[in-house]
Structure 1
């Protein structure tokens, strides 16, 4: 994995993409709660029937080794242990009659469980 350094401050970034729709939804959720001190964090954790599962949530913590990237005013944070599993992943927000919510398209996932909740 290559860590990019795109700022003069030396902040390490990650290769996860947050679409405009997902950034807009995250921003709307934060505005609804009156919070501007949170970051959107995605992590990979052990669990689920396929072995790994995503955890996407708002967080007020900063962990040692966090990789941060800004998307339209939303900071997307990935911890250093999850970054290799998420390199090249895209987080989107869909709002259709069939489905509503955040989706994660991860080219590193070689398979998933039948319920779609975890991957390997």
Structure 2
């Protein structure tokens, strides 16, 4: 199901997602972003490659990339930005989330 809910992707995130997908044998894979309970602040971001799209999933397209978000996670991600960071500590996708009232110092969990 397509929707015009906003999730912004930085140029760095777009480049990394394209690179990851290009190196996969399964051309149907897309990046799924989801929210789990847990983490130091209550909720935790999750990322995985997925070729299954459920009827209630939301598909967000930007720069020829399709991001899958389940309908429950969407309420926590609307208006967020996805970036990809590489530094001396490692590399990872990060989310800047205007809906988060609290975040942990590592940036991997948040509270509403």
Range class of TM-score, shorter chain: 0.7 to 0.9
- Where do 5+ consecutive residues of structure 2 fail to align? none
Provide TM-score, normalisation by structure 1. 0.81
Q: Give the Cα–Cα distance (whole angstroms) in 1 for the partners of residues 2 and 108 of structure 2.
A: 32
Question: How far does the alpha carbon of each residue in 1:53-86 deviate from its partner, in whole angstroms, 9 at most, with x for none?
Answer: 0011111111121111212221011111111110
Tell me the number of residue pairs that the alignment of Structure 1 and Structure 2 aligns: 111
The residue aligned with 1:117 is 108
Deviation at 1:101, TM superposition (A): 2.2
Provide TM-score, normalisation by structure 2. 0.86
Of 21, 24, 34 in structure 2, the residue corresponding to residue 43 of structure 1 is 34
Of 38, 48, 52 in structure 2, the residue corresponding to residue 57 of structure 1 is 48
The residue aligned with 1:91 is 82
Runs of 4+ aligned structure 1 residues displaced above 4 Å come to none
- Where do 5+ consecutive residues of structure 1 fail to align? 1-9
Query: Highest CA radius of gyration, 1 or 2?
Result: 1
Q: Give the Cα–Cα distance (whole angstroms) in 2 for the partners of residues 17 and 115 of structure 1.
A: 21
